[in-house]
Amino acid sequence: MAGVIGRKEQADGLLFATDGEELPDGLELILTVTDRESIDELSSYGEAERESFALQALRIGVLALRQARGRIDADLIQRETQRMLGALEGRLSAYSLQMHEKLSGSLKEYFDPASGRFHDRVQQLVKQDGELEQVLRRQIGGNDSELCRTLLAHFGQQSPLMKLLSPNESQGLLSSLRQTLEGQLTNQREHVLKEFSLDNKEGALARMIGELTSSHGQLTEALEKKIGVVIDEFSLDKEDSALNRLVRNVDRAQTTITREFSLDNDASSLARMRRELMGVLEKQSETNTKFQEEVKVALSSMAARRAEAERSTRHGMAFEEAVCAYVEFHAQHSGDVATRVGNSTGLIKNSKVGDCLLELGPDCAAAGAKIIIEAKQQGAYSLAQARSEIEVARKNRDAQIGLFVFSKRTAPECLEEVFRSGDDVFVLWDPEDASTNLHLKIAVTLARALCIRVEKRQQAQAADFEAITAAILEIEKQSNSLGEASKSAETIKSGAEKILDRVRITRKSLERQVELLNERIADLRSTQTEIAS
């Protein structure tokens, strides 16, 4: 497996890289798997489950490596904690100073009586020749005011009304009307000018300016009071001001935080956490030391038992028991039934070939199918011998698929870990090497898949193959007996009568089995014909 994963340490629930930088929540890895065992295991999962399985396997490996190290680097935890506290203290101090400066500057910029933006804006609005007076002058002032221009536009010499009432189109009435209108307009203009003249103290404009001046004074006085209150609240010179209370609260909080995160104070949170961590580390160190001693004792005991087992004659039987125990354990999770049959005879007379019979459970597509398992740890046991023995085991135990388990220590060279030959699966396994458990698991899975294939192939056949199988086994057994008899006839002349009787009995048995086989084959053909039609 190719890829690079940076080393990391875990302390107080936080992840840090070795250079002190905080690790991200996720890390994307693009891996190329080249190990054959890993490829076989990952290939057995679908695309939706493969990534989850790979992440779990990676996490188990990382935890195992971390457990092997034995303890957490306490110096790294202390160094990172001090660095964290220093950074936190600096940021709190900088933030407090920055907040105080920004708040004082903003309040002074808007509410300072000498240079504040609010005071300048009010003065520009209500001062003499200010914006308010200019607006009033433009609207109702002299001859060039908006009011005069509006009146001239509607009632002047060039207005539509005057054109309509021109003396050139009518005499008498229009002239009189013009004189009367001019008199009224003159009176109205004088009245309006009088009302909007500052010389007339009773005029509308004079009264309005007086009221505006009075209101402006009250507004200025109220604003000055409000600004004074605000300045007092944000003044550091006043003891009970809001800003002083805020500064005291911040100082008190900073002092509390500094005290709680100081190692000089034995009652601080950081000191208590350090003591607890040191206690946990000491307990972990003691536990690891004790565990290592127990492992050493167990390994010594295992080595002694292994040496004794290898010297004893029961070494091969121990290997067969280990294979059967492994198959029985994993059969429980898949709903299958594993039975040790090495001490009982099968269909072949006086034959005990076959160590463990695995019958697939009801949840499997090939429910009831059988897998016979044969385990060998004998030295110099060839592949040809293994094929011959697993074939006999399948026939003896009436199993569809055979699984032959070689001991990895004594298996012939140049054999693959897992391979298939027809209806038989061969695997190399070592009960003391956990890495080979995957090989045996893959071999059992492959055998189950072959059972499903055989079951689907036989679904269209309703004939009873048990009698055919028994007949074939009987023929093979009698053929072997016939070969032995023929050899005896050639080499031992004194036993000719006995041999001839044996040949005669064998011939009759073969004829009966052939007739029975022909009947079953005929039934099978008729059944296939009916299914095809």
Domain end residue (candidates: 403, 437, 459)? 459
- Reported confidence tier of residue 373, pLDDT bands at 50, 70, 90: very high
- Which pLDDT score, from 0 to 100, does residue 313 have? 45
412 and 517 share one domain: no
H/E element, 289:
helix 269-311
328 and 359 share one domain: yes
Amino acid symbol at 81: T
The verdict on residue 408 lying in a domain is yes
CA dist 487 and 328 (Å) reads 44
The verdict on residue 139 lying in a domain is no
- Which pLDDT score, from 0 to 100, does residue 1 have? 40
Scanning the structure block, which residue is given the tokens 């990172």?
A: 80
Mean pLDDT of 315-339: 84
- Which pLDDT score, from 0 to 100, does residue 5 have? 36
Q: Classify each residue of 341-376 as buried b or exposed e, where b means 16 or more C-beta atoms within 10 Å of its C-beta.
A: bbeeebebeebebbbbbbbbeeebebeebbbbbbbb
> DSSP letters along 182-219, please?
HHHHHHHHHHHHHHT-TT-TTSHHHHHHHHHHHHHHHH
Residue from 531, 370, 332 nearest 452 by CA: 370
492 and 408 share one domain: no
409 and 352 share one domain: yes
CA dist 487 and 503 (Å) reads 11
Residues 78-118 pLDDT 10s: 778 888 888 888 888 888 888 888 888 887 777 777 777 77
Q: What are φ and ψ of residue 107, in 5° steps?
A: -65, -40
- Which pLDDT score, from 0 to 100, does residue 259 have? 75
Mean pLDDT of 167-172: 54
- Which pLDDT score, from 0 to 100, does residue 519 have? 75
Helices (H) and strands (E) in the chain, counts: 16, 8
CA dist 527 and 458 (Å) reads 12
- Reported confidence tier of residue 426, pLDDT bands at 50, 70, 90: very high
The verdict on residue 76 lying in a domain is no
Mean pLDDT of 182-193: 80
431 and 497 share one domain: no
- 147: tokens are 């009011």
Task: Tell me whether residue 298 is exposed, middle or buried, using C-beta atoms within 10 angstroms of its C-beta: 0 to 12, 13 to 18, 19 or more.
Answer: exposed
413 and 326 share one domain: yes
398 and 432 share one domain: yes
Question: What residue numbers bound the domain in which 498 lies?
Answer: 470-532
Partners of 232 in the β-ladder = none
The verdict on residue 231 lying in a domain is no
Mean pLDDT of 132-151: 73
Domain end residue (candidates: 424, 459, 494)? 459
The total number of structural domains that make up the chain: 3
Rounded to two decimals, the pTM is 0.33
499 and 407 share one domain: no
- Which pLDDT score, from 0 to 100, does residue 491 have? 64
The verdict on residue 400 lying in a domain is yes
Residues 7-30 pLDDT 10s: 333 433 334 444 455 677 788 888
424 and 482 share one domain: no
- Reported confidence tier of residue 356, pLDDT bands at 50, 70, 90: very high
Q: In this structure, how many other beta carbons lie within 10 angstroms of the beta carbon of residue 516?
A: 16
Cβ-contact 6, 15 below 8 angstroms = no
- Which pLDDT score, from 0 to 100, does residue 15 have? 46
401 and 425 share one domain: yes
- 422: tokens are 């027809």
CATH label of the domain that carries residue 381:
3.40.1350
The verdict on residue 465 lying in a domain is no
Q: Which of 117-126, 284-293, 351-360, 520-529 has the highest mean pLDDT?
A: 351-360
- Which pLDDT score, from 0 to 100, does residue 164 have? 64
What is each CA distance from 286 to 63, 138, 160, 291, 417, in whole angstroms? 19, 96, 112, 8, 41
The residue length of the chain stands at 533
Cβ-contact 231, 111 below 8 angstroms = yes
Mean predicted lDDT score pLDDT of the chain? 76
Task: Tell me whether residue 188 is exposed, middle or buried, using C-beta atoms within 10 angstroms of its C-beta: 0 to 12, 13 to 18, 19 or more.
Answer: exposed
- 505: tokens are 């009995």
CA dist 57 and 37 (Å) reads 13
- Reported confidence tier of residue 35, pLDDT bands at 50, 70, 90: confident
- Which pLDDT score, from 0 to 100, does residue 170 have? 54
353 and 486 share one domain: no
Q: Is the pLDDT of residue 171 over 60?
A: no
- Which pLDDT score, from 0 to 100, does residue 482 have? 56
Amino acid symbol at 10: Q
The verdict on residue 157 lying in a domain is no
Mean pLDDT of 39-68: 82
The verdict on residue 96 lying in a domain is no
CA dist 361 and 363 (Å) reads 6
Task: Tell me whether residue 302 is exposed, middle or buried, using C-beta atoms within 10 angstroms of its C-beta: 0 to 12, 13 to 18, 19 or more.
Answer: exposed
Residues 450-459 pLDDT 10s: 888 887 777 6
- 452: tokens are 């499903």
508 and 409 share one domain: no
